[in-house]
Structure 1
């Protein structure tokens, strides 16, 4: 049953991604229905009696589920309709991935209460920084659009028109740093819970593995960006480059490494 819900949610996301901007009500309702189906199927798929499913596909799907909600809420306050074509197709792909790559179940018996808290905070951190990365891509496109604006006789598609309707770049930049600041706090909590409660969470002492190293590198990049913004006034291309680089490294920390281990090397992890 979850598979059908996943497929229906993916189809709704795709339909809403490419509907004309003028159809605001059908788009908004379609996203909400798709998000509910996505969340319900994900919840029933991830959790069983005294066990939780983990894996790159499940975690990516959960991350995009929260990112869709963040986009929907953000779009209520600001005109960010052009972000639909960035967020929703990626979310549609992430919806069906758990059906193809199910990951593995981890028994919760004997696990610390911090285990689920660590996973929840991690997903929230990844989700916030994912929407920040989409936001940064949108700013790159917006800036490029400003520098190469066509003449009045040129025909523009709906996406180009949606880019023109975005808030001013300075407003977009303030939104970006608000997202990065919140995501950095959550990522800090993720790192601290992983370091301090490693043995309680995973049954092993703290280890400097690839996941830890990539996570710390991403944390350092986002921290450096926020410090540079605060004391050096970093903005524009510098801010966008740091954001996208930090997100790419964070993506490698869990999703990329789990994909290689589960799909390429066919290793089942606990």
Structure 2
């Protein structure tokens, strides 16, 4: 385990989360440095010759690693300082989890060449929809600020960060762009899991809690996008669907693996 790299990445993330927003260059450089350390440690620990280390901690850490990259790129086009104070502290916690919960090694010699791609696409889908969930939380806070008096949170740092966000309509467009991208990736994850189940996992498709929660989450996000196009869904309806879909997706793998690995002390099936 590259514990030193994980800890350094966590410290950089927390420092960048705490810096005042006027230190834009320092935040950008520090976040990029933390992201590189985070990614290097993940790669070194997950990719073992002939095997792949998987577990709830590694999936969650990889998800936040990609979410940090997406935040960093989006922040160059829009002022998303409020997203920084949500994503970076969460990433700081996620980055050290693999050191505490090492997961299990999965041999690749008896797996299809599609298996690593299935894992990568699934993590990308998780990441996109995780960032969308953070974005939805920010929008909910932003909407509540519109109905609050200016004196209610005048000196609160989060309120000031929220006040610097783009207009709510712009935030909504960004939200649906993230959800659409994540939905495409989640669709590929579901299809690859169903169509190539025997090649990927060596067994036919299992209709267990992981499969059911994943498909349920896919249905919720699909319904949201259809409602957006067909009925113009937006506002609180969009936020509720986003957070419910994300919570369901979280239960599909990370939640179930946490129970199995940490509570029941079982390895990966």
Question: Aligned partners of 1:3, 1:260: CA distance in 2, in Å?
Answer: 24
Question: Aligned partners of 1:227, 1:212: CA distance in 2, in Å?
Answer: 22
Question: Aligned partners of 1:157, 1:79: CA distance in 2, in Å?
Answer: 18
Q: Which residue of 1 aligns with 2:9?
A: 9
1:63 shift after superposition? 0.4
Q: Which residue of 1 aligns with 2:196?
A: 197
Q: Which residue of 2 aligns with 1:169?
A: 168
1:118 shift after superposition? 0.3
Over 3 Å counting, the alpha-carbon distance change for 1:209 and 1:28 in structure 2 is same
SS at match of 1:22: coil
Q: Is residue 2:103 matched to residue 1:103?
A: yes
SS at match of 1:150: coil
Q: Which residue of 2 aligns with 1:32?
A: 32
Over 3 Å counting, the alpha-carbon distance change for 1:207 and 1:160 in structure 2 is same
- 1:226-254 per-residue CA deviation (whole Å, 9 max, x = no partner) reads 01111011000000000000000000000
- 1:119-171 per-residue CA deviation (whole Å, 9 max, x = no partner) reads 000000000000000000000010011111324x9732332122111111111
Question: Aligned partners of 2:89, 2:16: CA distance in 1, in Å?
Answer: 9
Aligned residues: 269
Question: Aligned partners of 1:70, 1:122: CA distance in 2, in Å?
Answer: 16
- 1:18-75 per-residue CA deviation (whole Å, 9 max, x = no partner) reads 1111111111111000000000000000011110000000000000000000000011
SS at match of 2:76: helix
Q: Which residue of 2 aligns with 1:119?
A: 119
Question: Aligned partners of 1:164, 1:99: CA distance in 2, in Å?
Answer: 37
Over 3 Å counting, the alpha-carbon distance change for 1:203 and 1:19 in structure 2 is same
Q: Which residue of 1 aligns with 2:94?
A: 94
Kindly report structure 1 stretches of 4+ aligned residues shifted beyond 6 Å: none
> Are the equivalent residues in 1 in contact too, given 2:154–2:160 (CA < 8 A)?
no
Question: Aligned partners of 1:56, 1:26: CA distance in 2, in Å?
Answer: 32
Question: Aligned partners of 2:156, 2:268: CA distance in 1, in Å?
Answer: 46
User: Alpha carbon RMSD of aligned pairs, Å?
Assistant: 1.1
Could you tell me the TM-score, scaled by structure 2's length? Answer: 0.98
Question: Aligned partners of 2:111, 2:104: CA distance in 1, in Å?
Answer: 16
Unpaired runs of at least 5, structure 2: none
Over 3 Å counting, the alpha-carbon distance change for 1:154 and 1:52 in structure 2 is closer
Question: Aligned partners of 1:149, 1:226: CA distance in 2, in Å?
Answer: 33
Alignment of 1:127-142 (within 5 A): 127-142=127-142
Question: Aligned partners of 1:160, 1:247: CA distance in 2, in Å?
Answer: 25
Unpaired runs of at least 5, structure 1: none
1:110 shift after superposition? 2.0
Q: Which residue of 1 aligns with 2:77?
A: 77
Q: Which residue of 2 aligns with 1:56?
A: 56
Q: Which residue of 2 aligns with 1:159?
A: 158
SS at match of 1:53: strand
Question: Aligned partners of 2:200, 2:207: CA distance in 1, in Å?
Answer: 15
